[in-house]
Each structure stands twice: as C-alpha cells, then as structure tokens.
Structure 1
Amino acid sequence: MTDAYREAGVDITAGAAAVERFAPLAASTHNEHVVSKIGGFAAAYALPELSNPVVLAATDGVGTKVLLAQQHHQVAGLGTDLVAMVANDLLADGAYPQFFLDYMAVGHLDPELAAELVGGIASGCREAGMALIGGETAEMPDLYQGGHFDLAGFGVGVADRNRTLPRGVEAGDLLVGFPSTGVHANGFSLVRHLLDTTGLADQPLADGRTVVAALLTPTRIYVRSITPLIEAGYVHGLAHITGGGWTDNVPRMLPATLAAEIDVGSWAWPELFTRMQTAGELTLDEMRRTFNLGMGMVAALDPEHWSAIQAACPDAVRVGKVVPRAAGQAVVWREGVHE
C-alpha cells in the first residue's frame, strides 16, 4: 500500500521524516502552558489565568508572496510572515498571543524545504511569544503542481474582557504609526504584476538592496513593542495595516461617528513604495488602499501619552488625529494636521 501511495504521488515516509525534523523546531517555542507534544492527534494548551478572560482567534496566510519567494529560492522568511499576520491581528484586538498552528499544502513534500518553512514559523513564534503546538502537512500532487505550495496559520490569544481593543477611541486622540519592514505580506498579486511588466525588478535601492530582496523582507511582529503600551493603558485602538491598506483597516478601530485625519507630510514613504508607484503609474488612492506605505500598525491614544510612547518606541511617528466624521470617507488625508 505504501508503494502504491507513493506511485500516486504521496510519500508517507517523507512525511514522517519531516515531522521528526519539525519536533525540535516546535519545542523551541514551547512554554509552561504547553500540555501536549508534537505527534498527537490534537494539541493541548493550558491558558493563563485572567480575572475575566476572553479567547480571541485569528487565521491568515501569506498570499502570492509564496510565488515570489519560491521563484527566488528565499522561502524561510515566509514562516515569519505567516506568524506575523496572525499575531499582529490578535494584538490589534488587545490579545496576548498564546499559541499557533500551521497548515502546509504541497504538491510534493521536500523535507528540506518543509523544515526551512517550519524553521521560519518557529522563529516567528519565538518573536511573538507564541507556542507552536501543532500543524498539518498535506501532500496533494494533483492540486499543487510544479513544486508549488501554500501556507496558512491559526493562532489563539487571550485578553481580559474589559481590556480588549478598541475601547474609548475619541475625537482628539493622536494617531501614531509604527514602521513596517516593507510591503509585509499583502498586495503581492499587484507587486508580481509590476515585476513582470516593468523594469522594477532590475532597479537597485539606495540602501544597496535589490527590489526583490526588499519585497521578501519578513513582516514585522509588533507584539513585544506594543503589548507594554496596551498594558499601560495608553492604547485606545489599533489597526493592523494589511490587505485594504490604510483605507480599509484604520476605520476598523473607529466608531462610526469618527474619522482618521492623516497628515500626508508626517512621514516619508520608504523608497520601495515610491518605486512601485512610479513603475506602475499607480494613483495615490491605489497605493493607500493596497499597501502599508511604511507603517504596519497605527494606534489611537490620548495625546498626553505621546511622550511615554516616544520613550518606549523611539521609531513611532505621529501620523494624524481622530476627528468627528463628516459626510464622506472615514480616512481623510490632509496637509499639516498637527499645526
């Protein structure tokens, strides 16, 4: 039966070998709350005790960034991307990320490639303070051909029910941006189109990196930098700037009566974004609705806490303020908002 299954395209032996390589990677992320070990049918995790706990869950993938990474043989960073997309979403709702599970679908299981991907996931989990407690690797040769694969991640966090976000966002709050490490893991169907149809891929950046290297930089995980700000009570709302860019994500932390007024001069876009805009002749609206433009998280907070934010996160940038919403858009771009 095993040989027949291998002839059909599924190698059980390779799968078992891959799991053996995954185990120490996952173990490197474990903490005292992990009850089960890799290899069981399900994973068990003892949640930390909170006075009024609520469990939050999130799931995501890395989209067609997979194709670009595979094309350039730089897949390890995808694991960090995967964790980041989930952990940052949990953080945006005020949760402490707890544990993570991954799903890897492949046409043909290459244990070396799989271990590289899981190694990136484990690295991301350590950065996010999450335990990698399980996962699934599915070999489906008729569905994924030519060495293609896909990734999905699932995470759970906990929070005190009375301290989830958003809470208390009001007119006059500052909007503070936390810089991204690049495009992160959304918008890559457009990015790949630009690479295929323009000379963008061949252009060097001023920092010495190639455009492709900059595009494949893993997504920043904000848990360590922003969690203390939430614990201190500084943060009223958080927006994770992913698919939908600023236009669709910032309003998710705002009451329907409020809008975000963004100062267009408060930060300079990283060169990568200006190069993409120029190469594709993209409008400002397209850029704002597709990319993070150099800020991966945006927080709403009381202006009196700005100095404390600066001390804790020197790279944070005042990008605007919360205002009453008039008829029209929930995100308004202005010159000189802070003046």
Structure 2
Amino acid sequence: MNKNSYSDSYKAAGVDVTAGYRAVDLMKQHVARTQTSGVVSGIGGFGGLFRPNFAGMQDPILVSGTDGVGTKLKIAFLMDKHDTIGIDCVAMCVNDVICCGAQPMFFLDYIATGKNVPEKIAQIVKGVAEGCVQGESAIVGGETAEMPGFYPEDEYDLAGFSVGIVDRTKMIDGSKLQAGDVLIGLPSSGVHSNGFSLVRKVFDLNQENVGKYVEELGMTLGEALLTPTKIYVKPMRQLMQAVEVKAVSHVTGGGFYENIPRMMNSGMTAKINLKAVPRLPIFDLIQKTGKIPEHDMYNTFNMGVGMVCAVAEKDAAKALETLKEAGQNAVAIGEVTQGEEGVILC
C-alpha cells in the first residue's frame, strides 16, 4: 500500500481508496491457495500473467467462459453470508469450459459494490478461491469497484471469467454422437445459480423465512437455497481419461429443455427417462409452493442433474464406475435417439 495514496474528497463522495487496499491485503491469503505452476504474476498488477503448458498438444485451443451469480446474491444479502457465493461464480464459468473438454487454467473476478467493506470483500474472494481450488484454476487478478449511488451500500454484484485450454484433437463437440449412446446425469447440489427470480417470487423471501427450518430439506430454507453450485471439473476430467465422452451439457438456466439440446447434433434427440432423474426435495418444495407446471420446472431448473454427458453404450458401465470413484452418484437418465426434437422428457 502506498501511504501517500488517499483522497479525503473522494472519500466524501463515497469512495474510500484505502478500503480497497485493505481488501486486497485481506484477500491475498485466499488467492495464494489457487496458485499453480503457470502463474507468472501475483495480484496487483495491471494484467494477470499466465504461462500455459502446451506439452503433448498438437493444436492447442483456448476456451473461455464468463458468467455471474444472478439474483442468488439476494439470498446472500438476506443471510449476511458471503463466503460461498464466489464458488457459484467460478462454477458457472468452469462448468461451461469443461463441456468441450478443456482444462480451466485461470480465473478473474469482478466485484462491484455500493460500499467497500474490506472484510466482506475478503469473504467473497474466499469463496472464489475455494471455487478455483475445486475447479483447478488460478486466480490471476480481478477488480473491486466501489460505486456509491449505483448500488445500495450493503449490496454488490459478482461476475467472473475463466480461460481454459484443449487440444483440438481432443475437443468434445458432439460430432461422434450416435443413436443408442447413453446419457449420464451428474447430480446437482441444489438449485445452483439459476432460476432465482422465480424462486424469490415463489417464497417471497425475507430475513424471517430464509431462517425457517424446513423438515423435508433438513435445513433452513436459506441454507438450502444458498448451497453452492457443484463444480464438475475434476470428475469430468477423470471421466474423459477413462472413456470417450462424446458430448456434454451444463444444465443451467433454461433447464433440460434449453441446455440438453445444445449438446445434440442435427438429427439427434436426447430421450430422458424422468423416473431416473435424481430429483431433489428443494424442487418439490418450489413446485408445490408456487404451483408451477411440470414443464416449467424442467424449463427453468436443473431438477437434480447439473451436468449431462453422452458415452457409447459399451462404455456406460465404466463411465458410471469412474464417476462413482470420483464421488459422483451419477445415473443413466436416457439415451440418444434419431429425431429433430432436441430433447424428449418421458
């Protein structure tokens, strides 16, 4: 910190530059957890430097993904809990990057807030760091913007982006899909980070009801809704090393109807057996409370399946065993068929 860097005039306008320096000092311990051999520079410079490892690659391709957390942040505000929301931010990016077979390399975040409270910012970055550890990514930089008058003092927004790498010869693009291939669903941890505008409307959330214990959930409503998005990088990389993965879909906003067709080639349809879907209690509660039609549930939420991948029928048993060893209670939820529907739920 430059001891000469302060501005009483800027502080009077609502921006305390010294709070920014304090936040950086507090977050350094969390950022350090994520450092990998590719990191060239520490945080604090004008650009994050990273040396990618091209060993064994014939034609390396960079893959990028960016996203935020959306209105799930409102739950964090109500509960005044900020140390897990960063996991969601990382998850929404690295789970996209892994879909084409890429290894995430590094991550940057952006936090915009009405008032920079260093301890709160450090808690947010703590979650980002945990997500990066799970997602095998290094934090190489970020930005914290104090924006009084734009955001309320006790609120913030969080976004980030991931950059990964894959050899073109090993890219997963669905081109090898065939009728009869098995669709495997990896379980979600809950609502993840999508559909929270509908969730908040259904429950009319406030500080009182987020703290209400719900028997069928085994926890408070707020705890269930704030459960971090599952990060699939490590189990999917193990799976890709064990069998040929033909296509992958990250099930996010738009649920089954929008996301699963994105992994299908023209003339191919994903036929999903709904009885095989490991539906979580939180979705039953949302549907019952909001009187939401079944179609809308599967068109909004992940319903218990956060990622879907396709493998040949001969590889299905090995794929399921590999995922089990990786801590995923994955299940076969359907098959690839010929057709133009994209996805059929039956």
TM-score, normalised to structure 1, is 0.94
% of aligned pairs identical?
40
Structure 1 equivalent of residue 106 of structure 2:
99
Aligned to 1:138: 145
Q: Which residue of 2 aligns with 1:212?
A: 222
- Give the Cα separation in 2 of the matches to 1:146 and 1:44: 33
Seen in structure 2, the aligned counterparts of structure 1 residues 24 and 268 have a Cα distance that, compared at 3 Å, is closer
Secondary structure at the aligned position of 1:321 is classed as: strand
The CA deviation at 1:63 is 0.1
Preserved CA contact (<8 Å) 2:217 2:224: no
Offset at residue 268 of structure 1 (A)? 4.1
Amino acid paired to 1:206? E
What is the SS of the residue equivalent to 2:50? coil
Q: How does 1:1-339 map to 2 (within 5 A)?
A: 2-49=7-54, 50-167=57-174, 168-196=176-204, 202=212, 204-314=214-324, 315-326=329-340, 329-334=341-346
Q: Distance in 2 between matches of 1:160 and 1:95?
A: 8
Structure-2 separation of matches of 1:233 and 1:197:
44
CA RMSD of aligned residues (A): 1.6
Is the partner of 1:177 in helix, strand or coil?
Answer: strand
Distance 1:207 1:66 in 2: 21
Question: Quick check: 2:217–2:281 contact (8 Å CA) kept in 1?
Answer: no
Q: Give me the whole-angstrom Cα distance separating, in 1, the residues matched to 2:140 and 2:205.
A: 42
Q: Distance in 2 between matches of 1:270 and 1:240?
A: 17
Could you report, residue by residue, the CA deviation over 1:5-60 in whole angstroms, capped at 9, with x for unpaired residues? 00000000000111111222112111111001111110110011122100000100
- What residue is the counterpart of 2:3 in the other structure? none
- The alpha-carbon deviation at position 89 of structure 1 amounts to 0.4
Is residue 205–residue 211 contact of structure 1 (8 Å, CA) maintained in 2?
Answer: no
Q: Which runs of 4+ in 1 moved over 4 A?
A: 197-203
Structure 2: how far apart are the matches of 1:322 and 1:124? 32
Where in structure 2 are there 5+ consecutive unaligned residues? 1-5
* Alpha-carbon distance in structure 2 between the residues aligned to 1:197 and 1:14: 31
Q: CA deviation at 1:212?
A: 1.8
The residue type equivalent to 2:202 in the other structure is: L
Work out the number of aligned pairs and report it: 332
Is the contact made by 2:239 and 2:323 (CA closer than 8 Å) also made in structure 1?
A: no
